[in-house]
Structure 1
Amino acid sequence: MKIIALAATSSSKSINKTLVSYAANLVENSEVEVLDLNDYELPLFSEDKEAELGQPELAKAFFDKLGSGDVIMISFAEHNGSYTAAYKNIFDWASRIDQKVFQNKPMILLSTSPGPGGAGSVLAAATGSAPFFAGDVKGSFKVPSFYDNFDLQNNQFINQELHQELSSVVAKL
């Protein structure tokens, strides 16, 4: 099974990238490819830019990369209760190639933040909207207070209950 994993942020120190990488590697006998949204940076989407640029190669590459896996895992960072601009922009460009951005792939959606909300607002939005873009959401999970619950040095959960819950969600694949 090939898993395409990404953090829905452009942060170089993303705790969501840590989380999605950790979660993807819980799937036994899988190949994991972690995408970096910085590799798909494009001008802000608008109809004017689309008329000028058409379908940019980076948008096509992102769409094709999502299609190349058997499973998609995304961990969402939250900016002011919503998607990061980096994720929303590449998603908007990809949706103009084909509205079925997620290409009927099984998906696990995650989120985390330093605070107690665990980026739950954006996770709820993503979980609710993914089916409209041909995403087959098998499970979702948020990790509150990331730094209190995850040991970055040893790349493991401090909170074993959260580890077990995440393992259960990932097992739905």
Structure 2
Amino acid sequence: MSFILAFAGSNSSASINFELVKYTCSLIGTEEVRLMNMSNCPFPMYSMDYEKEHGYSNALNEFKRDIQFSKGVIISVNEHNSYPSAYFKNLLDWLSRLDRDFIRDKKVLLMATSPGKRGGIGALEVSSALLKRFGAHIVGTFSLPQFKENFDAYKGIVDADLAQAHQNLLKDFLKVID
């Protein structure tokens, strides 16, 4: 059975990007969605020495399989100093060492949010380029600025224009993966 894989590029237990992914998944009607909470998925910092000594974890192999068997992937990346977090970059490093084509031809909806006015746009741009390098097909990107002002845990995205842009992008993504 086909499914959509969804996760945030953050391993924080209080990730606002995970909140955005969770909300996005709640808007998906009949599709099966596998929502991954990456705070439950610790990966050691990548190094060639560590790879030689320990190889690849079962969790990493399972995560790669989930990506490859999914019909599409939804990711919301967090931003540290205008770049994706070290956790997300580390995850991509591990996945690309395991299989350079880990996301080849996979349809991806890429999002970011942050407390600031730029909404993680720097991390979004860098992550888009990185994922494309590994063969991902970025269907679209969405930035939610000022998370605390524009998102409510019960209502979702409260700014009408941002909510509409998000819904349109999700609709386009769902059309492309069917």
Q: How high is the TM-score relative to the length of structure 2? A: 0.90
CA distance in 1, matches of 2:26, 2:72: 13
Query: Does the Cα contact within 8 Å between 1:16 and 1:75 map onto a contact in 2?
Result: yes
1:48 aligns with 2:49: yes
CA distance in 2, matches of 1:34, 1:111: 16
Match of 2:140 in 1: 139
SS at match of 1:61: helix
SS at match of 2:148: helix
Query: Does the Cα contact within 8 Å between 1:40 and 1:62 map onto a contact in 2?
Result: no
**Identity fraction in percent:** 30
Match of 2:176 in 1: none
Query: Does the Cα contact within 8 Å between 1:3 and 1:24 map onto a contact in 2?
Result: no
SS at match of 2:140: strand
1:82 aligns with 2:83: yes
Deviations 1:114-164 (A, max 9, x none): 110101001011112222112111000100001111112x14221111110
CA distance in 2, matches of 1:40, 1:11: 10
- Matched residue type, 2:157: F
Query: Does the Cα contact within 8 Å between 2:79 and 2:114 map onto a contact in 1?
Result: yes
CA distance in 2, matches of 1:5, 1:93: 18
Deviations 1:76-135 (A, max 9, x none): 110121121222222211111111221421110000001101010010111122221121
CA distance in 2, matches of 1:81, 1:67: 29
5+ long unaligned stretches in structure 2: 174-178
Match of 1:23 in 2: 24
Match of 1:102 in 2: 103
CA distance in 1, matches of 2:160, 2:3: 26
CA distance in 1, matches of 2:133, 2:146: 30
Counterparts of 1:111-150 in structure 2, within 5 Å, are 111-150=112-151
SS at match of 2:67: helix
Query: Does the Cα contact within 8 Å between 1:40 and 1:90 map onto a contact in 2?
Result: no
SS at match of 2:119: coil
SS at match of 2:40: helix
TM-superposed CA distance for 1:24, in Å, is 2.6
Moved segments of 4+, more than 6 Å: none
Q: How high is the TM-score relative to the length of structure 1? A: 0.93
Match of 1:59 in 2: 60
Aligned-CA RMSD value = 1.4
Query: Does the Cα contact within 8 Å between 2:11 and 2:40 map onto a contact in 1?
Result: no
CA distance in 2, matches of 1:43, 1:157: 34
